[in-house]
Amino acid sequence: MKLRKVTAASAAVLALAVTATACGSDDKDSGGSSGGGKTITVGIKFDQPGIGQKTPQGYAGFDVDVATYVAKKLGYKADQIEWKESKSADRETMLQRGDVDFIAASYSINPEREKKVDFAGPYLLAHQDVLLRADDTKIKSPADLNKAKLCSVTGSTSAQNVKDKLAPNANLQKYPTYSACLSGLQNGAIDALTTDDSILAGYASQDQFKGKFKLGGLKMTNENYGIGVKKGSDLKAKINKALEDMVADGSWDAAVKKNFGPANYKSEPAPKIGDVKS
């Protein structure tokens, strides 16, 4: 009888231990596929070739390469990254809610956003530019966009900024997507497409468009891409160190060439951490 009591007590202890272990498995850092099971959630664009794009083969683009490098420096392997789509209008909310650990999604640093989130970086200095047909010789300055058919993607402010500040007589043509603008540019329905030069270079680098377009090189604005983190997060300092390492070991230059090279994109040198150009 005494032996049975001991056995029952031991079974109870064992059951309690198993239950405690099972409860612990809900922790975010215990569900990955390798390296102890930890994971990190990163926000990127899913629809910007050369920047951040979801493809049948996985995820690709400059921001993806930067984020993968940063995650590695933070202790995460590539298969421990959970990629989450971060649309422009959702980025601050995603960080504030904790949906992602950080966001690298052509995320320009500006004072309004800095009230809501923190930024590491910048890691790329882009400029608003125009994409032209490769044989275009007419558009050499913002003033040349007057009376030109300028593509405006629905929901974007880039083309309106050109019309308001640089070329008031530009003829805005509204298209639903950048891909539609590219088709219009190719067939002559529009004369120019405008947004960040890095984004334009990514689109122009797609296989079906190689050699058909060129960047105007107008540098109409400065766009300082940063990595967004939750306000007050200690990740900011760690990510800044990772970005410095990426530049120092040549990985940054390699990522620029890999993702933007086919469009003959002449990027600015890697910016210094905290140096936000106005």
N- to C-terminal Cα separation, the chain: 83
Domains 35-126+224-263 and 127-215 share a fold: yes
Residues 245-266: pLDDT tens digits?
999 999 999 999 999 877 778 8
| CA–CA separation, 10 and 54 (whole Å) | 52
How many CB atoms neighbour CB 267 within 10 A?
A: 20
Domain boundaries, the chain: 35-126+224-263, 127-215
Phi-psi region of 86 (alpha: psi -120 to 50; beta: other; left: phi over 0): beta
Query: Which pLDDT does position 161 carry in this prediction?
Result: 86
Quickly tell me which residue has 């540098």 as its tokens: 219
Intervals of the chain under pLDDT 50? 1-35
Query: Which pLDDT does position 197 carry in this prediction?
Result: 94
Query: Which pLDDT does position 1 carry in this prediction?
Result: 45
Query: Which pLDDT does position 46 carry in this prediction?
Result: 95
Q: What is the dotted CATH code of the domain comprising 127-215?
A: 3.40.190.10
Residues 126-144: pLDDT tens digits?
999 999 999 999 999 999 9
Query: Which pLDDT does position 155 carry in this prediction?
Result: 67
CB 118 within 8 A of CB 231: yes
CB 106 within 8 A of CB 203: no
Q: What is the DSSP letter of 108?
A: B
How much is the pTM?
A: 0.80
Provide the CATH topology of domain 35-126+224-263: D-Maltodextrin-Binding Protein; domain 2 (3.40.190)
